[in-house]
C-alpha cells in the first residue's frame, strides 16, 4: 500500500472517562478526519467536541518529543541515556543523603488513559520505595474508593448506575451532560438521559448550580454547597422512621443496618432543611419516591466527593441504594463485569486505610498514598522525611491541587524534580528533567480503568494509529529503563515487565470471560483485536454477593470510622454562617484536564472561565455584570471577570478548574493566550474531608469585591 493511501483506524477517545469509539482516517502521517464509530458497542457513533482535538494533541508543536533538561530559564534537548542516567542518579542521591522518604511521587489523572502507566508505573515506585506517594485520587474520587473498600472489601468494587434500565435517577453534584459520566463511563449521556425520560422515567438533579444536566432534568433542587450529607442522612432517617425500605435479595448479607438507624436518628428533615436550604417536604418526598419507584438509583459525583464530608456523602449514597433495594438489581447500581481486572475476593489492589500517616499533618494514607493536600507542607517543612526530590507523572498539581501558590513555592525549592510529561506546564516548568512519552496515537491502549466503571459491559483494544519515531519511547519503556538504572545504583535485582499488551493478554485469558471461567466464550486479547469496533459483553450483571471481598463475606453497611465521623457532621451544623459566599467549580464538555486549553478547537467560542454570581449577590456588593472582581479566600486571591446569572443559587459563586496558564512561564502557546485564573489559588489545603484527607474543592468560603 502506498504512503498516500487512506487508512481507517478504530480506537477509543482518551480525553475523558466516556472512552467513545472513534473512526480515524489518515493519509501517511496526516489525520484527515475523526468521527464517531457507529459500530462501537457502547458509544454507537457519539462523540463530543473533545474527540476531534486528538489531532491537535498529536500535531501540537508545543508537545515535547525528546527529553529536555532545564538550564536556567532555557530548555535543552538531551539524549535518552543522559536523561535516564541523570534521573536515576539524582533520585538515589536524594535518598542516600536524606532517607528513603526524601523522594515524592505525584500521578495525575491523565495517566489512567494510558495503560502503560497503569501496568508499569508501580515499577518505579517499587524501585524508589518511599511513603510519600500522592495522586489526583485525593483531589477527586477517593471517597468512592474508600467507601467501596470499607463496605465491599475492595476499593474498585464500585457499583455503577444501570442508567439504561433505571426509572428514577437522582444525581447529586454530577453533570454527565458535560462530563459524559464520571465514575460512571457513560458515552452519549444526552441520549441515555432522553431514553430514561422517554420510557416514563424521571431525572432529579440536586446541585448548587443549574447545570447542563439540571436544565434537562424533570426536577432540579438547589442545595447549599457542602450540606449534601445532611440531606442524605435525613433521607436515610426517613426511610427507617417510615419503614420505607426493601432489602430484597441482599437482606441476609447485610451487616450493621441497626447501627445506622441509631446513628442517623438525630439527622432529621428539619436539620437538613436548615443546613441545606432544601424544603423538608421536598427531602421527604424524594426519600419516599426513591423507596417506592421500581428501578430507582441515587448517584453522586464531584460536587459531593470533593467537599468536607465527601466520604460520608458517598457512604450514604451506598446505604440509600441498599435500603431502597437498588444495589445489585437491574436499573439500580451494579458492579461491572469487565474482561480485564474483574473485581472479586482475592483480586489484588483491594486497598488499605490509615496504615501510616503524613509526617506533618498526620493525615491517613489510603492504598499506599497520602492526601495530595499534604504535598506542599511535606516539601517545605524541615525534618526527617522532608521531600527533597519529586517525580510527577502526567500531572499538573500547581493548577489542579489546593493552595496552588504554596505548591508553586514548594516545587520551586526542590533539590531535584523529574517529570514524566510531554508539556512544560505550570508545574513541570520547575523540573530539572522532563521525559516525554509517545503521543497517544503512537501507542496501543486498553482501557483498564474505565471498563471497570462502564454502564454496559464491553471490551475494545486500541491499536496505534502511527508508528513511533525510532528515537521515541513509550511510557512503559521509560519506567522500565529508569527503574532498572535505580536498581543498579542501589545494588538490587531488577526484572523488567513485558509490554502492556502482553500483561493484559495474560489477564484476560485467566479472567472472568477466559477459558478457565467461561469455556464457551474463551475470550482472549487476540479475539478482541480481531473485532476493531469492540465486543459487546452485555448489560450490567447483578451478583455482588459472590464477589464481596470483606472478611465476613457480608456488606459492611456501618464501618466504624464512617459512623464515628457523623459526630463531626453533627458538630459542624452550628458552625455554618448563613451569609458566607461559597465557591464551587464547574465542568464544561470541552474541558477536562488543564492541558486541554492548548488546542484552539477546545478553547474557541464564548469565554468559559468567568466567575458566575447571582444578580442579587452582585447587587448587595455593588458589582456590575462583566466587571472585574477580586475573590479572596484564606489562602489567596485572584482577579477575574464576573457574570451575572441565576444559574447559581444565592450565596454561591462558581469558577471552573484548569485555567490561569498566563500567569506561569509555560511553553503552551495557545493556553497562555487564554484569560481566566487558577481557581486553586483560592482552594485551601487545610479545608478538607478530615476523615479521608480528600481535598474540599467545593464549598470554599470566599469574599468577592470590586476589582
Q: How many Å apart are CA 533 and CA 386, to the nearest integer? A: 49
Confirm if 128 and 391 have CB atoms less than 8 A apart: yes
pLDDT the model gives residue 576:
55
Residues 6+ apart with CB under 8 A from 344: 154, 546, 547, 549
What residues pair up with 206 in beta bridges, in sequence order? Answer: 172, 221
Cell readout for 179 is 462530563
Name all domains of the chain by residue range, CATH numbers in brackets: 6-59 (3.30.200.210), 68-140+345-493 (3.40.50.740), 159-334 (3.40.228.10), 576-706 (2.40.40.20)
Q: How many Å apart are CA 678 and CA 664, to the nearest integer? A: 10
pLDDT in tens, 208-259: 999 999 999 999 999 999 999 999 999 999 999 999 999 999 999 999 999 9
pLDDT the model gives residue 1:
43
Residues 6+ apart with CB under 8 A from 36: 20, 21, 22, 23, 43, 44, 45, 46, 47, 51
Question: Using 50, 70 and 90 to split pLDDT, how confident is the model at 590?
Answer: confident
Instruction: List C-alpha distances in Å: 114 to 321, 438, 440, 560.
Output: 32, 10, 8, 36
Give the pairing of strands 103-107 and 389-393.
parallel
pLDDT in tens, 533-584: 999 999 999 999 999 999 999 999 999 999 999 999 999 997 656 567 999 9
Percent of the chain with pLDDT over 70: 99
Mean pLDDT, range 492-497, rounded to an integer? 96
Ranges of H-type helices in 548-599: 560-572
Check whether 594 has a pLDDT greater than 80: no
Q: For residue 381, count CB atoms less than 10 angstroms from its CB and return exposed for 0-12, middle for 13-18, buried for 19 or more.
A: middle
Mean pLDDT, range 440-465, rounded to an integer? 97
Chain mean pLDDT for the chain: 96
pLDDT the model gives residue 577:
61
Q: What share of the chain is helix, strand, coil (3-state, %, to 5)?
A: 35, 20, 45
- The phi, psi pair for 266, rounded to 5°, reads -85, -10
DSSP strand E in 68-201: where? 68-71, 74-77, 103-107, 133-135, 160-161, 168-172
Other beta carbons within 10 Å of 506: 15
Mean pLDDT, range 663-689, rounded to an integer? 94
pLDDT the model gives residue 575:
64
Confirm if 684 and 635 have CB atoms less than 8 A apart: yes
Q: How many Å apart are CA 529 and CA 534, to the nearest integer? A: 8
Q: Per the confidence metrics, is the pTM higher than 0.75?
A: yes
Q: 82-89: which pairs have CB atoms within 8 A and are 24 or more residues apart? A: 83/433, 83/435, 84/435, 84/478, 84/481, 84/482, 84/485, 85/485, 86/432, 86/433, 87/418, 87/433, 87/435, 87/482, 87/485, 88/482, 88/485, 88/486, 88/488, 88/489, 89/485, 89/489
Question: Using 50, 70 and 90 to split pLDDT, how confident is the model at 702?
Answer: very high
Cell readout for 690 is 478530615
Cell readout for 415 is 533539590
pLDDT the model gives residue 578:
56
Question: Using 50, 70 and 90 to split pLDDT, how confident is the model at 427?
Answer: very high
Confirm if 37 and 43 have CB atoms less than 8 A apart: yes
pLDDT in tens, 75-89: 999 999 999 999 999
Confirm if 407 and 398 have CB atoms less than 8 A apart: yes
**Quick check: helix, strand or coil at residue 172?**
strand
Q: Which helix (H) or strand (E) holds 36?
A: strand 30-36
Percent of the chain with pLDDT over 90: 94
Amino acid at each position: 500500500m502506498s504512503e498516500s493511501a487512506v487508512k481507517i483506524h478504530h480506537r477509543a477517545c482518551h480525553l475523558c472517562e466516556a472512552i467513545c469509539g472513534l473512526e480515524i482516517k489518515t493519509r501517511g502521517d496526516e489525520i484527515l478526519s475523526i468521527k464517531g464509530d457507529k459500530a462501537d458497542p457502547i458509544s454507537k457513533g457519539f462523540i463530543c467536541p473533545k474527540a476531534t482535538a486528538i489531532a491537535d494533541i498529536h500535531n501540537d508543536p508545543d508537545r515535547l518529543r525528546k527529553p529536555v533538561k532545564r538550564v536556567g530559564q532555557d530548555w535543552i534537548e538531551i539524549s535518552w541515556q543522559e536523561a535516564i542516567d541523570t534521573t536515576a542518579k539524582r533520585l538515589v542521591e536524594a535518598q542516600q543523603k536524606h532517607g528513603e522518604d526524601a523522594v515524592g511521587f505525584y500521578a495525575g489523572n491523565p495517566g489512567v488513559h494510558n495503560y502503560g502507566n497503569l501496568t508499569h508505573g508501580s515499577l518505579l515506585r517499587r524501585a524508589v520505595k518511599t511513603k510519600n506517594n500522592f495522586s489526583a485520587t485525593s483531589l477527586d474520587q477517593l471517597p468512592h474508593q474508600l467507601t467501596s473498600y470499607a463496605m465491599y472489601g475492595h476499593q474498585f468494587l464500585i457499583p455503577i448506575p444501570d442508567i439504561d434500565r433505571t426509572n428514577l435517577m437522582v444525581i447529586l453534584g454530577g453533570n454527565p451532560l458535560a462530563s459524559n459520566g464520571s465514575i460512571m463511563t457513560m458515552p452519549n449521556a444526552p441520549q441515555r438521559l432522553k431514553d430514561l425520560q422517554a420510557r416514563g422515567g424521571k431525572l432529579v438533579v440536586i446541585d448548587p448550580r443549574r447545570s447542563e444536566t439540571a436544565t434537562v432534568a424533570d426536577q432540579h433542587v438547589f442545595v447549599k454547597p457542602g450540606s449534601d450529607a445532611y440531606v442524605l442522612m435525613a433521607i436515610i432517617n426517613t426511610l427507617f422512621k417510615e419503614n420505607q425500605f426493601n432489602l430484597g435479595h441482599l437482606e441476609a448479607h447485610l451487616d450493621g443496618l441497626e447501627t445506622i438507624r441509631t446513628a442517623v436518628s438525630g439527622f432529621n428533615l428539619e436539620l437538613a432543611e436548615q443546613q441545606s436550604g432544601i424544603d423538608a417536604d421536598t427531602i421527604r418526598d424524594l426519600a419516599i419516591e426513591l423507596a417506592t419507584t421500581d428501578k430507582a438509583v441515587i448517584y453522586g459525583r464531584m460536587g459531593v466527593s470533593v467537599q468536607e464530608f465527601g466520604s460520608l456523602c458517598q457512604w450514604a449514597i451506598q446505604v440509600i441504594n441498599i435500603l431502597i433495594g437498588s444495589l445489585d438489581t437491574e436499573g439500580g447500581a451494579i458492579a461491572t463485569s469487565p474482561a480485564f481486572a474483574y473485581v472479586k475476593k482475592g483480586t489484588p489492589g483491594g486497598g488499605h486505610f490509615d496504615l501510616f500517616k503524613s509526617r506533618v499533618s498526620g493525615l491517613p494514607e489510603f492504598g499506599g498514598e497520602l492526601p495530595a493536600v499534604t504535598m506542599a507542607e511535606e516539601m517545605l517543612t524541615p525534618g526527617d522525611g522532608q521531600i527533597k526530590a519529586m517525580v510527577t507523572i502526567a500531572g499538573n498539581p500547581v493548577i489542579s491541587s489546593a493552595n496552588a501558590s504554596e505548591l508553586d513555592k514548594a516545587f520551586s525549592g526542590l533539590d531535584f524534580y523529574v517529570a514524566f510529561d510531554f508539556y512544560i506546564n505550570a508545574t513541570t516548568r520547575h523540573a530539572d528533567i522532563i521525559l516525554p512519552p509517545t503521543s497517544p496515537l503512537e501507542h496501543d491502549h486498553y482501557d483498564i480503568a474505565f471498563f471497570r466503571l462502564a454502564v454496559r459491559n464491553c471490551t475494545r483494544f486500541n491499536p496505534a494509529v502511527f508508528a513511533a519515531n525510532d528515537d521515541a519511547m513509550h511510557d512503559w519503556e521509560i519506567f522500565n529503563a529508569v527503574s532498572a538504572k535505580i536498581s543498579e545504583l542501589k545494588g538490587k535485582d531488577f526484572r523488567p515487565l513485558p509490554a502492556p499488551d502482553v500483561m493484559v493478554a495474560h489477564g484476560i485469558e485467566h479472567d472472568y470471560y477466559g477459558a478457565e471461567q467461561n469455556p464457551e466464550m474463551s475470550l482472549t486479547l487476540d479475539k478482541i483485536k480481531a473485532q476493531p469496533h469492540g465486543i459487546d459483553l452485555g448489560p450490567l450483571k447483578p451478583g455482588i454477593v459472590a464477589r464481596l471481598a470483606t472478611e465476613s463475606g457480608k456488606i459492611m453497611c456501618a464501618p466504624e470510622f464512617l459512623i464515628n465521623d457523623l459526630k463531626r457532621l453533627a458538630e459542624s451544623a452550628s458552625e455554618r454562617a448563613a451569609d458566607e459566599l461559597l465557591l464551587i467549580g464547574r465542568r464544561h464538555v470541552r474541558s477536562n484536564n488543564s492541558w486541554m486549553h492548548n488546542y484552539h478547537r477546545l478553547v474557541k467560542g464564548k469565554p468559559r472561565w468567568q466567575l458566575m454570581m447571582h444578580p442579587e449577590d452582585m447587587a448587595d456588593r455593588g458589582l456590575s455584570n462583566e466587571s472585574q472582581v477580586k475573590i479572596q479566600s484564606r489562602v489567596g486571591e485572584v482577579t477575574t471577570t464576573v457574570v451575572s446569572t441565576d444559574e447559581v443559587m444565592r450565596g454561591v459563586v462558581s469558577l471552573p478548574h484548569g485555567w490561569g496558564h498566563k500567569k506561569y512561564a509555560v511553553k503552551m502557546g495557545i493556553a497562555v493566550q487564554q484569560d481566566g485564573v487558577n481557581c486553586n489559588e483560592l482552594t485551601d489545603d487545610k479545608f478538607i474531608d478530615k476523615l479521608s484527607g480528600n481535598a474540599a474543592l467545593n464549598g470554599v468560603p470566599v469574599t468577592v469585591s470590586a476589582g
